Amino acid sequence: MQDDEAALAADTPIAPLDLLVILRHPPHGSSWLREGVDVALVAAAFGQSVGLLFQGDGVFALVEGQRAGPLGQKGTHAQLAMLEMYDIERLWVSASALRARGLTPADLMLPVQLLEADALERLVHAQPHTLLF
Amino acid sequence: MLSYALLVHAAPYSEQGALSALRFAQAAVAQGHRVSSVFFYRDGVHNASTLMAPPQDEVHLAEGWRALAQEHGTELLVCIAASLRRGLMNAEEGVRHGREAHNLEPPFVLTGLGQLVDAMQANDRVITFAP
């Protein structure tokens, strides 16, 4: 358990990025997640500062140990593994979405910052450009 | 006066999003705002099909988009990766992929996601129309 990955303190400032991509769909069953991450990668490749927020079923994207193939879709693990290479290091996760699905940060493939509802609101308000997938 | 870019994820006719996007664009230009570009992504790429043939008593979405481009200079940008997967291609891509037909023509332009990034920087607002 990574109990030190507690929710962001209420007074921690959240700096605006060029783009926040909010991912709300699971990695399998539709192409929402893949096509959302594609936008984040391209924006980063164009020199933009990009952050990702995983909300709702989007938190399943980060679950360690997924395989791609049996369902005929490519999956998104390989894409997410490239985030660091594209300097996309700000990964936020809705704490309540994670809890609701019985997951903890230890189940996830990448280090993330958990956000409780008030911090989520501050994050979204701080961003001039948000795209929802 | 504001400049807008629209991002359309919604497929034509299946979902309200595409029609809402067109109506928003028409209303915005009617009020003197500028809709500089519409970026079609995901199932929204089907808005660009030359072969779209709705019944005559329904709004013709592709014609609506074309009129917006011709009358107001709106760029109609269509994601090439999303399009090729879903069977939309222009003449050039048709040749490249050895197809005897194509179904995407100007003023719709096949382009990359980088153009969406540019549109976000260049406009006052980007509005997404999801399904």
User: What ipTM was predicted for this assembly?
Assistant: 0.92
Lowest mean pLDDT among A24-33, A72-81, B110-119: A72-81
What is the pLDDT, as a whole number, of residue A12? 76
DSSP A63: B
- Greater pLDDT, B104 or A74: B104
What is the pLDDT, as a whole number, of residue A5? 53
Task: Judge contact between B128 and B9, C-beta under 8 A.
Answer: yes
Statement: residue A3 has pLDDT above 70: no
A31's CB contacts (< 8 A; 6+ apart) are A73, B42
Q: Distance (Å, rounded) from C-alpha A92 to C-alpha A119?
A: 10
What is the pLDDT, as a whole number, of residue A10? 67
Give me chain A's average pLDDT, please: 91
Cross-chain Cβ contact B117/A131 below 8 Å: no
What is the pLDDT, as a whole number, of residue A1? 41
Mean pLDDT of A53-72: 90
Boundaries of every domain in chain B: 3-103+119-129
Which residues of B are tagged catalytic? 79
- The stretches of chain B forming alpha helices (DSSP H) are 16-30, 61-72, 80-85, 91-96, 114-122
Give the pLDDT confidence of B33-65 residue by residue, as tens digits: 999 999 999 999 999 999 999 999 999 999 999
Interface test with B, best of A37, A46, A48, A88 (most B CBs within 10 A): A46
Cβ of B7 under 8 Å from any chain A Cβ? Answer: yes
Boundaries of every domain in chain A: 19-132
Mean pLDDT of A11-19: 86
Statement: residue A15 has pLDDT above 90: no
Residues in B closer than 8 angstroms to A132, CB to CB, are 128, 130
Q: How many CA atoms lie within 13 A of A119 on its CB side?
A: 21
- The domain defined by A19-132 carries CATH number 3.40.640.10: no
What is the pLDDT, as a whole number, of residue A2? 44
What is the pLDDT, as a whole number, of residue A119? 95
Q: Distance (Å, rounded) from C-alpha A67 to C-alpha A64?
A: 9
Mean pLDDT of B3-18: 97
What is the pLDDT, as a whole number, of residue A8? 74
Cα dist. B10→B13, B16, B21, B61, B83 in Å?
A: 9, 7, 9, 12, 13
Residue A9: how many CB atoms within 10 A of its CB? Answer: 7
Cβ of B122 under 8 Å from any chain A Cβ? Answer: no
* B107 preceded by a cis bond (ω within 30 of 0): yes
Residues 27-86 of A with CB under 8 A from B: 31-32, 35, 38-39, 42-43, 45-46, 48
List the A50-54 sheet strands across, edge first. Answer: A113-115, A90-94, A50-54, A19-23, A130-132
Mean pLDDT of B12-29: 97
> CATH says B3-103+119-129 is which class?
alpha beta
